[in-house]
Copies of this chain bind each other. A is one copy, B any other.
Amino acid sequence: MSTIADVARLASVAKATASRALSGKGYVSEETRARVVSAARTIGYVVSPNAASLVTGRTKSVGVIIPFINRWFFAEVLEGIEIALLEQGYDMTLYNLPAASPERDRIFEYFLARKRFDAVISVGVALSETEVDQLHRLGRPLVGIGGPIRGVHTIAIDDVEAARLATEHLLSLGHVDIVHVGGVLVDEMDFEVHSNRLRGFTSAMTHAGLSTDGCFYASEFTLPGGYERGMEVLGDPRRRPTGIFAACDEIAVGIIVAARELGISVPADLSVIGIDGHPYADMFRLTTLEQHPREQGRLAVVSLLAELDNPTDHHAAGELTELPPRLVMRASTSGPRART
């Protein structure tokens, strides 16, 4: 391994000059710069980020905390973050933090407390105040995705609004027997996301003068979860809703699969709407409210880098950037069949 001293020697300059020439900061004549660069190339020199960050304090890498990898929303966010970071020469270290666990404390104390990261992104993890403080004390920017954390800039869709729009879509089509299949409320993944979507649903229903008693079913945010719940909700023909608002597209698709198995026609006998914009939505002709997780990941990175470049003003700290969900109509929703 060659060091910058080797480069300096070969180019007959001091280490200081070689460093300036390669980093592009400070005065270096064009001629010596060229000589240093070529010297570096011939011996295949690459900087040691460790040594550099030891003195600069910057590591050019950010830590990402995420509860799942194998879930559409989270994987998309991750890809968005990764692409944006790579573009800026940063790399991404991943901590898969499943839930409250001993692991969790270890990650915070052992990994994040060390100054290995320039910044931290928390995706869909409800951080405790202690944890937020811990990260803030490092003086590193912290941004969240997916739900509000006190005092932390967070990027998310407006969940209440999205749920309200979805429910109102069904209401406007004439449905009155509507069920919401949403996330488990006391889930580790609940980050006000589940409760907010339920709130949007309830608000829209109440506003339309409808009761929501017995209209909520909790499900995992997966296709099999939706399928199971679908079988349960649709199993009894006497008390079957005409419209279902699913908290995510995978649940919605699971419900559609269940409906097909039960011989219930979508949308003639049952309208289904989801939230996400999952690739499956098109295939199952699912009406949905699109959010764009990749874009959310990208925005988090943009916000982070802005704060890194401008450490003085905490411009966006505690602020919530809410992205507007967009209704995409497909063939899974229509007016209810006239009742006998």
Which residues of A pack against B, CB within 8 Å?
Answer: 1, 46-51, 53-54, 59, 61, 69-70, 72, 75-76, 78-79, 82-83, 86, 89, 91-96, 103, 106-107, 109-111, 113-116, 222-224, 227, 254, 257, 260, 279-280, 282-283
Contact = CB atoms under 8 A, between A and B. Distances in A.
User: In terms of DSSP, what is the predominant structure of the interface of chain A?
Assistant: helix
A86 B107 contact: yes
Q: How many copies does the complex hold?
A: 2
Q: Which of A72, A86, A103, A106 has the most CB of B within 10 A?
A: A86
Nearest to A283: B224
Contacts of A79: 69-70, 96
B53 A224 contact: no
A279 B94 contact: no
B222 A279 contact: yes
Contact of A280 (B82, B103, B106, B224): B224
Nearest to A79: B69
A72 B50 CA distance: 34
B115 A103 contact: no
Contacts of A72: 70
A264 to B, nearest CB: 13
A111 B106 CA distance: 27
Given A69-B78, A89-B110, A224-B282, 18 more contacts: A1-B115, A46-B113, A47-B114, A48-B54, A48-B114, A49-B114, A50-B59, A54-B54, A69-B75, A70-B76, A70-B78, A70-B79, A82-B96, A86-B96, A86-B106, A223-B280, A227-B283, A260-B260
Nearest to A89: B110
A109 B110 CA distance: 30
A50 B61 contact: no
Contacts of A103: 86
A133 to B, nearest CB: 12
Nearest to A284: B257
4 nearest A-B residue pairs (beta carbon): A70-B75, A224-B283, A82-B96, A69-B75
Contact of A96 (B83, B106, B227): B83
Contact of A111 (B54, B91, B280): B91
A69 B82 contact: yes
A5 B225 CA distance: 54
Nearest to A294: B70
